[in-house]
């Protein structure tokens, strides 16, 4: 499979958040789904390849960044431009209880998918009931 | 001779406003196409001597959910993206991404050679290459004396 999703490293640099790049930047639409033991974040980032995406956790702020190569057809004339290629940038403040050291990030077909585990304290636990 | 000469006005506020409007529209098309009543998906069209190229941003589609058809100088793109159903025990905390079925027709700069059209889907972008139909190719006419 050529477009095999790749696990992106999540860096926790502790540095102050970088300024978004000066180039045209768009805010991607996201879905956030809560499952019993994780949070799934889906973001539409068309044109972003797996090596051009950055996922950063800094304290309680999750930042996703994607870089898009400028679209263009050398030697051709642009007849109609309804969208412009640009980079993506979005930050979220995440609540307590997420295990930020345990994040899986994949990019496929222009959709970034993050799987963020809940910390053990938030995961549902079944308590065995013993006979007294 | 006037008392003073006006420099021709080099700053055209209306042109600036129009540009700002275009920017705003292009941004809105991107983030909230429904607000403009813009057709979805948004497309970019390039033309050259030999072919035209049409690109559309359709992230998260499967190739089997994309349909491209060409007739003369008309190109139609159909796509669908079903919502990801939350399974048992899951719930949406936020839902901003579009889903549903869309169809979009675009007029090409020239009629295409329908049999030679190719379409690829990569990184969420659909790209259609449409070679110019032989009848639409510019031909040189020899001028006789």
The 10s digit of each residue's pLDDT in B46-65 is 999 899 999 999 999 988 89
A60-99 residues touching B, CB cutoff 8 A: 71, 73, 75-84
Report pTM: 0.71
Coil/strand/helix, residue A55: strand
Fold exhibited by the domain A10-16+24-70+81-120: Immunoglobulin-like (2.60.40)
Asked if B31's CB is within 8 angstroms of A76's CB, the reply is no
- Closest-CA distance, B22 to chain A, in angstroms, reads 10
User: Domain residue spans in chain A?
Assistant: 10-16+24-70+81-120
Query: CA Rg, chain A, in Å?
Result: 19
Model confidence band, residue A83 (pLDDT cutoffs 50, 70, 90): confident
Contact with chain B for residue A111, Cβ under 8 A: yes
Q: What is the pLDDT of residue B71?
A: 92
Residues from chain A that touch B45, judged by Cβ atoms under 8 A, are: 78-80
pLDDT higher than 80, residue B36: no
Q: Which of A13-22, B66-75, B81-90, B126-135 has the lowest mean pLDDT?
A: A13-22
B102-131 residues touching A, CB cutoff 8 A: 106, 109, 121-125
- Closest-CA distance, A62 to chain B, in angstroms, reads 15
**Average pLDDT score, chain B:** 82
Contact with chain A for residue B86, Cβ under 8 A: yes
**Average pLDDT score, chain A:** 78
Asked if B46's CB is within 8 angstroms of A78's CB, the reply is yes
Task: Spell out the residues 6+ positions from residue A128 whose beta carbon is closer than 8 angstroms to its own.
Answer: none
Nearest Cα residue to A116 out of A62, A54, A49 = A62
d(CA A108, CA A45): 10
Residues from chain A that touch B84, judged by Cβ atoms under 8 A, are: 31, 33, 42
Class of domain B42-85+99-136: mainly beta
Q: What is the pLDDT of residue A18?
A: 46
Residue of B nearest to A4 (CA): B123
- Closest-CA distance, A25 to chain B, in angstroms, reads 10
- Closest-CA distance, A49 to chain B, in angstroms, reads 6
Task: Spell out the residues 6+ positions from residue B61 whose beta carbon is closer than 8 angstroms to its own.
Answer: A109, B79, B80, B81, B121, B124, B126
Helix, strand, coil percentages in chain B from 3-state DSSP, rounded to 5: 20, 35, 40
């Amino acid at each position: 499979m050529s477009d095999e999703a790749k696990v992106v490293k999540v860096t926790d640099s502790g540095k102050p958040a970088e300024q978004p790049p000066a180039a045209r930047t768009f805010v991607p639409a996201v879905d956030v789904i809560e499952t019993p033991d994780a949070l799934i974040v889906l973001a539409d980032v068309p044109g972003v390849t797996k090596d051009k995406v950055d996922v950063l956790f800094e304290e309680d702020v999750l930042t996703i960044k994607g870089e898009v190569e400028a679209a263009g057809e050398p030697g051709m004339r642009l007849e109609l431009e309804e969208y412009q290629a640009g980079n993506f940038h979005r930050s979220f403040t995440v609540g307590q209880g997420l295990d930020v050291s345990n994040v899986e990030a994949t990019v496929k077909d222009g959709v970034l998918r993050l799987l963020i585990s809940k910390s053990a304290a938030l995961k549902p636990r079944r308590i065995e009931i013993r006979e007294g | 001779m006037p008392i003073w000469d006006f420099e021709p006005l080099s700053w055209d506020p209306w042109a600036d406003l129009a540009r700002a409007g275009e920017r705003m529209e292009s941004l809105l098309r991107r983030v909230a196409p429904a607000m403009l009543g813009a057709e979805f998906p948004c497309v970019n069209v390039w033309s050259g001597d030999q072919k035209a190229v049409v690109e559309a941003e359709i992230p998260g589609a499967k190739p089997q959910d994309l349909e491209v058809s060409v007739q003369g100088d008309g190109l139609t793109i159909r796509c669908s993206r079903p919502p990801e159903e939350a399974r048992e025990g899951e719930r949406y905390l936020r839902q901003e991404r579009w889903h549903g079925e869309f169809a979009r027709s675009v007029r090409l700069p020239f009629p295409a050679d329908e049999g030679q059209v190719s379409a690829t889907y990569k990184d969420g972008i659909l790209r259609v290459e449409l070679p110019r139909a032989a009848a639409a190719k510019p031909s040189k006419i020899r001028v006789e004396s």
